[in-house]
Amino acid sequence: MDYDVLIEPDLKESADFIKSNWRLKVLVIYAQCKVDYTGRAKSNLDYGSRLIITKPDGTIMIHGRTKREPINWQPPGCILSAFVQDDRLYIKSIRRNPKEIVLIECPTVHTILACNCEEGEFTLHGSEKEMVQKVIEDPTLLSEDFKPLKAEYPTPFGSVDLLGLDKEENLVVVEFKRATAQLSAVSQLKRYVDYFEKRGEKVRGVLVAPDITLSAYKLLKEYGFEYVKLDALR
């Protein structure tokens, strides 16, 4: 069986189970707990019913009932320990550099699940790289006269998603966004265009996205750039 479950375990049973499994399996613990953090700052979370998740790489997360982000967490590479003291189960996570400690105090543990989770092969569909590849394969998605030259062209301000030429041999700098383009995308495109203009190039700036905010579109037009609508999953 790929999982083990303890229902309403006592505190010693909980500690032994955590110590035996935290390096091997993902642990999901539902418990009444309080959480203290010390490190670059300090924080205290009072008693409440919470979901504690640990992973074999040392990651630990404490979740409440709302939001996707954990209330407290520690990154991979931390060392976990579990022990019973004064009728409390303590789960301690230590990060060595920088020195940070999360200490979870549990008077009651309701459920512990230990399970084997597999990574699998993750493929992101509709990514910006896929959008770039679509335009390389079919340049008319951008314009009839667009000729792709190079993807991921490095500059001091980051990598340009796609460089190309138009029929008049002007350099075309293309910035892609898989979601609605914001002001930051226009500003990024402006930095790229300025960079090439300072090198003496005649440059067109093009922003490609499935949608664009009104403020971003206005700024785009002020700079004399172009917007091309392209859905990430087209």
Which CATH number do you get for residue 206?
3.40.1350.10
Total residues belonging to the chain? 234
Closest CA to 108 of 33, 51, 166, 35: 33
**Which pLDDT value is given to residue 40?**
86
CATH number for the domain harbouring residue 13: 2.70.180.20
Domain closes at, from 115, 136, 152: 115
11 with 99, same domain: the answer is yes
Question: CA of 149: how far to CAs of 52, 72, 122, 197, in Å?
Answer: 50, 46, 29, 17
- 3-state helix, strand, coil split of the chain in percent (to 5) is 20, 45, 35
Per-residue pLDDT band at 135 (split at 50, 70, 90): very high
Backbone dihedral region of 5: left (phi > 0), alpha (psi from -120 to 50 degrees) or beta?
Answer: beta
Domain closes at, from 70, 85, 115: 115
The whole-model pTM stands at 0.61
Helices marked H in the chain — which ranges?
Answer: 11-21, 128-137, 183-198, 214-222
161 with 136, same domain: the answer is yes
Question: Do the domain assignments include residue 121?
Answer: no
73: containing domain: 3-115
Question: What is the mean pLDDT of the segment spanning 14-28?
Answer: 97
Domain closes at, from 115, 143, 175: 115
**Which pLDDT value is given to residue 124?**
59
The domain total for the chain is 2
125: pLDDT strictly greater than 80: no
9 with 108, same domain: the answer is yes
Question: Do the domain assignments include residue 122?
Answer: no
Question: Do the domain assignments include residue 134?
Answer: yes
Helix (H/G/I), strand (E/B), else coil: 164: strand
β-bridge mates for residue 36, sequence order: 44, 103
42: pLDDT strictly greater than 90: yes
Question: Do the domain assignments include residue 234?
Answer: no
7 with 109, same domain: the answer is yes
**Which pLDDT value is given to residue 13?**
97
56 with 104, same domain: the answer is yes
Angle at the Cα of 51 from the Cα atoms of 54 and 87, rounded to 5 degrees:
90
Question: Do the domain assignments include residue 9?
Answer: yes
141 with 215, same domain: the answer is yes
21 with 61, same domain: the answer is yes
Give, as one character, the DSSP assignment of residue 86: T
9 with 79, same domain: the answer is yes
84 with 136, same domain: the answer is no
- The pair of structure tokens assigned to 52 is 């504690």
How many Cβ atoms are within 10 Å of 197's Cβ, its own excluded? 14
51-90: per-residue pLDDT in tens? 999 999 999 999 999 988 999 999 999 999 999 999 999 9
